[in-house]
Amino acid sequence: MARSRIQIARADILAFFDKYPQKVFKLTEIQEILASQRSFWRLAQSMTAQKFIAYLVDNAAMRVMPFPLPHRSETRYTWGEVPLIEVVLSLKPNSYFSHYTAMRLHGLTEQVPKVIYLNHEQHLKSQTTGGLEQGRIDAAFKNKPRLSNNVTKIEDTGICLINGKNTGSLGVVAETLQYDSEIPVSVRVTNLERTLIDIVTRPVYAGGVFEVLKAFELAKENVSANALVAMLSKIQHTYPYHQAIGFYMERAGYKDRALSLLRKIPMEFDFYLTNAMGKSEYIKEWRLFVPKGF
């Protein structure tokens, strides 16, 4: 039986993808490769990208990974075994890992999170809505926090896309780290200081306040309090999160000179460690309500 053109070209196609530095592809990128290599591989015009992909899935190392996100479904194509976290990073341009995922990448948790958090910043700088008032703070933190509904699941792992505050990717670094396997992964992720700020502002994306406290304990020998405070100032959060950060640092046993940086920032309002706490107790030094017994 005569072989088809793609069967004849199979060895060349496999060699091309084996040597190609990129291992995660969008459909448009597969289409571009097919268009540029069609003549060399002597493939007929009737060989569409969909047929090309189907052949490589059935006869080579290509895999199809659908991400049925509610706002916009995405599909990625991988060549060989690619860690899920690297595939997820391709879902949004200029995105980066944050919160619980950043904690895991930096070794700030002893847990294995079941959700990967990918942060894609809003296009415009967040606009302030006027000066703070105690009543507005009380009302906001009495309720449950708002959560992203742009989530999906791949096998046993949740994927959560966060449309975060525009910071110009402040504190985001490109590093090769380990996540949930022995294979190093190349990622964009919040650095140590930015990670600690983010998990204080959204503990719901970090496993809760006990996990946040554990992260501060594990980060103690490596974090720069000066860099953290400078970064917090640049982000310009509406709420006085420095009071919660100071509390966590104190509970985690940070040195007085680190705590003094937080104490120097005015504390003009009572604040809350997290949303919807129920029973709470008041820490006068930080003007902070925390869960009772925390």
**pLDDT, tens digit, 9 for 90 and up, residues 15-46:** 999 999 999 999 999 999 999 999 999 999 99
Phi-psi region of 248 (alpha: psi -120 to 50; beta: other; left: phi over 0): alpha
Beta partners for 159? 116, 152
**What pLDDT does residue 180 have?**
74
**What pLDDT does residue 123 have?**
83
**What pLDDT does residue 15 have?**
97
Rounded Cα distance between 205 and 208, Å, is: 7
**What pLDDT does residue 183 have?**
78
> Nearest-CA neighbor of 105 among 35, 30, 174?
174
**What pLDDT does residue 185 have?**
87
DSSP-based three-state secondary structure for 284? helix
Rounded Cα distance between 97 and 227, Å, is: 20
> Nearest-CA neighbor of 103 among 201, 215, 208, 187?
215
Residues, the chain, total?
Answer: 294
Average pLDDT along the chain, 294 residues, taken 10 residues at a time: 86 97 97 97 96 97 96 94 93 96 95 95 68 94 94 94 95 90 86 98 98 98 97 96 98 97 97 96 98 94
DSSP-based three-state secondary structure for 76? strand
DSSP-based three-state secondary structure for 63? strand
Any idea what the Cα angle at residue 171 is, between residues 167 and 177, rounded to 5°? Answer: 130
**What pLDDT does residue 3 have?**
80
Beta partners for 271? 288
| DSSP-H helix ranges across the chain | 5-19, 27-41, 49-59, 84-89, 99-105, 134-142, 192-201, 209-219, 225-235, 241-251, 256-263
**What pLDDT does residue 155 have?**
84
How many Cβ atoms from other residues are within 10 Å of residue 286's Cβ? 25
66 CB contacts (<8 Å, ≥6 apart)? 73, 74, 75
